[in-house]
Structure 1
């Protein structure tokens, strides 16, 4: 790209994409985009899963190879926050684990270094650290943060970098209510000085200051590839008729949903119907003198669906890991799961066979190169990747899930080449495929657009209506409450 076309400030001219086709490492292509961003506009990018929402935002940051068309007046300095950028930072930190081959203990980059070595406005960064509640975490390793805390670090880095253009890809996902309100107020306070482009799947999260909406869809003109997206529509927010049509499009509900049957040849061992699925007695999690969870009593009975909520850092993920056996302190607590008293000789796989699980952390760990179909089948084996030969019946059930998700034509595509939202849909199918007694959904709608969010919520509601699977649903969005979940546990930050 010819950098001479760039201006010193976005306020000096419009950003223009004219018949622009951009390739992203042969993984995805945006086709012939015509788009103009005027200086006083703030945009929301939305669309279907796999349509290229994040890709279009990344183009504004100079990412991608221009195959045809032109881009003019890109800003010199862009503040970017996205799931992809967040995952890249996590991956870089995880690589430091390799240092043990040199007999070095890798503690990871501390939070204060991640923030203050990448900002121009130190005063603003310090104020945001205080507002986001990260002051006690400044000396902690970045990779030890929770998902929500990691996102806060990314936001502070972008906001304090004095960007010519601020690009926020799903900035509100994973944030508790207080943090969400604070961030929205801060963004509203800078609209006169900082142009913004927000990638949002949820129409109800669109801030009042958004002036225009760009809607992307998959490019169906090229039948040979499903990895192409196009800018299908741009509208002014004040155009009420067009706005309402787009809102209606993103809120379409799928009718006559049905969950594929379980595999009768992979039936789980029967559980004692007179025993609870999970019982925590005075469960406590602490690190040194810091108490995360304090004396929690919690019993989950079969057919008793729960919603678990609480602010970032309140211990939601820690409590889940006590149940799954992934937390080292599960053996120092009084925990009963699926007929086993923890610490009495049971294996972790005796526990995990009864659990379906979806989380952001799982998605980061699922980095193996395998097909979409095999990702679903791996749910029968609780594995990341496929290491066993699957049966014809399991393959058929996986095909049914792919059809239900509208991904039948992508059965053989690599999982790691899909968009974030499509990966999440597949992992939800993976968790549900064996009809487990307990289905743990840790922010299952994170990264999904409205259409797929409604699909996922409808599927979960179907599960709640049956008697086969108990749902433990973790979320921040009050509007995502599901019919059939009538038990609530709220954690507080100590």
Structure 2
């Protein structure tokens, strides 16, 4: 069986101008008869990945082993390369001279030419073709060339509805003899014969699914929705916005320590959190991550034995719990376990305005509207009336993060939000955190076990191991 295998492969693809798209530590097998769809946002690295697949990326590290005899790529970059070659070599080739390939399938070529109404273009000079016509040219050439593996990057772009339908029928027929790898942005164009899915982000193939069930595929498509959605998170409630903390230093701990029965959990910890200064807090189990957070929220009684300032209040000077918690949004695995009420997804988000488990107050029209905007943002608007307890575990976790974020808290604490999630939902959570950080309406503390598990937008790090 023919295949292509990547082991710890790293490489790059030079783009237009001076930009370069990189692939990092790629582990990927594509076997004969499999049909892959690569998903991801603009600039995620899909083009670099497909270039590596057909051997056109610069090989920098690792292994690429290919036993496919003939591989072809149809993409906008391939169009540009072919046109540039004609210009550089000062050629003025006719289309019919370029469309013929060695060992091509004559009958299939005739069928594709008829499909795309290309007969009258065969005697035209290639450089005179429009962008759409050039794309059709590449499709005819690649599909009729008896290639073993064909990569189709947005093959339906520029085609009318009828041409798309006819091309899809031909692709279904050819999938019996050709291995395909697709790159698509429109989910309604996904061919029915796709067997494997891959999610690409920041030059890495982060998640792959082989013949996924409906729930796995749904989670992957929700991730893609979040990847492509607007960066602008929904606005805060006007009343909530008026209560926002306006100072710069949100939290200041001086020589903080926590101990139980003469056993020190941590000591000599100095930490100042400034507005829009996002932090990643890491440490092993038992290192004191949750203890430290509880000092900030006031849920650890030792907060009164420490020198702590939170939102302008010095701990122990008569501040109330609400004085502190009105500025904090919070999500943890423990909260998820406790959130067992059977209220709708919409009301789950609205409950974040009141920091309640369940909803016991009548929300305003503005709060309902904002909650609906958040559901649209995360791709769950169709589930707004579904009970929280009937949603998948991943959807529940995303909802609880949005619940914590809906009031645009001054400080958003995400305590190991990926715990218990599969890879697709983990990527959804990490991407949502990235978007929240980029929005710069809340300061984020992201808690996890591994300092190396970094999130774009978080540039400050606190490791609990440094305070033992």
TM superposition score normalised by structure 1 = 0.49
Q: Residues 255 and 271 (structure 1 numbering): CA distance in 2 closer, same or farther, change over 3 Å?
A: same
Q: Secondary structure at the match of 1:277?
A: strand
Encode CA deviations 1:29-83: one digit per residue, 9 max, x unaligned: xxxxxxxxxxxxxxxxxxxxxxxxxxxxxxxxxxxxxxxxxxxxxxxxxxxxxxx
Greater Cα radius of gyration, structure 1 or 2 = 2
Distance 2:262 2:460 in 1: 31
Deviation at 1:253, TM superposition (A): 6.5
Deviation at 1:329, TM superposition (A): 1.2
Distance 1:445 1:438 in 2: 19
Deviation at 1:248, TM superposition (A): 11
Given candidates 214, 229, 238, the residue that maps to 1:256 is 229
Q: Which residue of 2 aligns with 1:267?
A: 241
Matched, 1:295 2:291: no
Q: Which residue of 1 aligns with 2:357?
A: 384
Distance 2:221 2:236 in 1: 34
Distance 1:247 1:385 in 2: 28
Q: Which residue of 1 aligns with 2:397?
A: 424
Q: Which residue of 2 aligns with 1:372?
A: 345
Matched, 1:464 2:415: no
Q: Which residue of 1 aligns with 2:448?
A: 475
Q: 5 Å matches for 1:48-67?
A: none
Encode CA deviations 1:411-470: one digit per residue, 9 max, x unaligned: 122212222211101001101111111111112223344444333333322332344211
Contact 2:244–2:410 under 8 Å retained in 1:
no
Deviation at 1:251, TM superposition (A): 7.5
Q: Which residue of 1 aligns with 2:98?
A: none
Deviation at 1:308, TM superposition (A): 0.4
Distance 1:298 1:352 in 2: 19
Distance 1:490 1:358 in 2: 20
Deviation at 1:252, TM superposition (A): 8.2
Distance 1:451 1:461 in 2: 15
Q: 5 Å matches for 1:301-450?
A: 301-450=274-423
Q: Which residue of 1 aligns with 2:213?
A: 217
Q: 5 Å matches for 1:23-34?
A: none
Q: 5 Å matches for 1:80-99?
A: none
Contact 2:237–2:367 under 8 Å retained in 1:
yes
Contact 2:220–2:424 under 8 Å retained in 1:
no
Distance 2:268 2:211 in 1: 48
Q: Residues 252 and 336 (structure 1 numbering): CA distance in 2 closer, same or farther, change over 3 Å?
A: same
Q: Secondary structure at the match of 1:299?
A: strand
Distance 1:414 1:216 in 2: 25
Q: Which residue of 2 aligns with 1:13?
A: none
Contact 2:282–2:451 under 8 Å retained in 1:
no
Contact 1:372–1:413 under 8 Å retained in 2:
yes
Q: Which residue of 2 aligns with 1:70?
A: none
Encode CA deviations 1:87-137: one digit per residue, 9 max, x unaligned: xxxxxxxxxxxxxxxxxxxxxxxxxxxxxxxxxxxxxxxxxxxxxxxxxxx
* Cα RMSD, aligned residues only: 3.2
Unaligned runs of 5+ in 2: 1-197, 202-207
Distance 1:378 1:354 in 2: 15
Deviation at 1:323, TM superposition (A): 0.7
Contact 1:253–1:454 under 8 Å retained in 2:
no
Q: Residues 382 and 322 (structure 1 numbering): CA distance in 2 closer, same or farther, change over 3 Å?
A: same
Distance 1:486 1:395 in 2: 34
Distance 1:462 1:425 in 2: 13
Contact 1:424–1:447 under 8 Å retained in 2:
no
Q: Which residue of 1 aligns with 2:156?
A: none
Distance 1:368 1:285 in 2: 34
Distance 2:450 2:200 in 1: 13
Q: Residues 472 and 249 (structure 1 numbering): CA distance in 2 closer, same or farther, change over 3 Å?
A: closer
Deviation at 1:264, TM superposition (A): 1.1
Deviation at 1:328, TM superposition (A): 1.6
Distance 1:314 1:477 in 2: 12
Deviation at 1:480, TM superposition (A): 4.0
Contact 2:437–2:444 under 8 Å retained in 1:
yes
Distance 1:316 1:270 in 2: 26
Q: Which residue of 1 aligns with 2:182?
A: none
Q: 5 Å matches for 1:111-190?
A: none
Which stretch shows the higher mean deviation, 402-411 or 426-435?
402-411
Distance 1:249 1:440 in 2: 23
Q: Which residue of 2 aligns with 1:279?
A: 252
Distance 1:303 1:277 in 2: 10
